[in-house]
Structure 1
Amino acid sequence: MRLHLITVGEPKLAYARAGWDEYEKRLRRYHKVQVTRVAGKTQALESEAVRRAAGRAPLILLDPRGQQFTSEGLAAFLEGRAVGGDGELAFAVGGPDGHTDDLRTGAAALWSLGQLTLPHDLAMVVLAEALYRASTITAGEPYHRG
């Protein structure tokens, strides 16, 4: 499966850059990964850039209104999308104000990382790690012991 990771901006803090780089590299062992960094001066411009970047791929928005997954649940969700014929999924981390209502309405799904508010940089790392963990679960590898 192809995973398209779309972020508004890129990690600025050293720990987040290192974490993103590490988990993106690991994730590439299981999927074709494309990363797109978009910019925008307003929430509307950011959301439009995310929409354009996703193209025809089903868009999964990281959003506090979304469904929360366990790691096993995320693995099952990804497997279900792959079996259902989705050759590509686009995941998007929004900017400081999140996504617009219009973008949320058109999304294939909303995914919440939990009830905590995470710094933007950390949310990007958590996205990459969670997708990696789900991939190892699907592959039956021991990374996830849980």
Structure 2
Amino acid sequence: MRLHLITVGEPKLAYARAGWDEYEKRLRRFHKVQVSRVQGKTQALESVAVARAAGRAPLILLDPRGGQFSSEGLSAFLEAQALGGAGELAFAVGGPDGHTDELRGAATRLWSLGELTLPHDLAMVVLVEALYRASSIHAGEPYHRG
């Protein structure tokens, strides 16, 4: 399955850039990965750019209003999507002001990383690491230890 990772901007801090690069590389062992970095001067323009980048792929927005996944739950979700015929899933991390209500309404799912507010750079790293961990669970690899 193709995982399309859409972010507003890219990691600016060195630790985040290194983390993103490492987990993106690892994730490519399991999936075709496409990365789109979009820009926008306003929340509305960012959301339009995210929607355009996602195209027709089911869109999962990282958003504090969404439900949470355990690592095993995310693994099961990815597997169910693949078995259901989804050839591609788009995951989007919004800008500092998040996503518009319009984009939330068009999304297939809202996914919350938890109740904490994370810096944008860290949210990007958590996204790609969580997808890698879920993929390693599905593959039966020892990366995930419970």
TM range (shorter): over 0.9
1:26 CA drift (Å): 0.2
For 1:1-146, what aligned pairs fall within 5 Å after superposition? 1-146=1-146
- Could you list the runs of 5+ residues in structure 2 that have no partner in the other structure? none
CA deviation string 1:74-95 (max 9, x = no partner) = 0001111111110100000000
Inter-partner Cα distance in structure 1 for 2:141 and 2:67: 25
Superposed structure 1 runs of 4+ greater than 2 Å apart: none
Inter-partner Cα distance in structure 1 for 2:53 and 2:110: 17
- Could you list the runs of 5+ residues in structure 1 that have no partner in the other structure? none
Inter-partner Cα distance in structure 1 for 2:104 and 2:83: 24
1:14 CA drift (Å): 0.2
Q: Compute the RMSD of aligned alpha carbons.
A: 0.3
1:109 CA drift (Å): 0.3
TM-score, normalized by length of structure 1? 1.00
Inter-partner Cα distance in structure 1 for 2:90 and 2:51: 10
Inter-partner Cα distance in structure 1 for 2:12 and 2:3: 22
Inter-partner Cα distance in structure 2 for 1:82 and 1:118: 29
Q: Which amino acid is the alignment partner of residue 142 of structure 2?
A: P
Count of residue pairs the alignment pairs up: 146
1:40 CA drift (Å): 0.2
Q: Which amino acid is the alignment partner of residue 68 of structure 2?
A: Q
Paired-residue identity, %: 86
1:137 CA drift (Å): 0.2
Q: Which amino acid is the alignment partner of residue 124 of structure 1?
A: M
TM-score, normalized by length of structure 2? 1.00
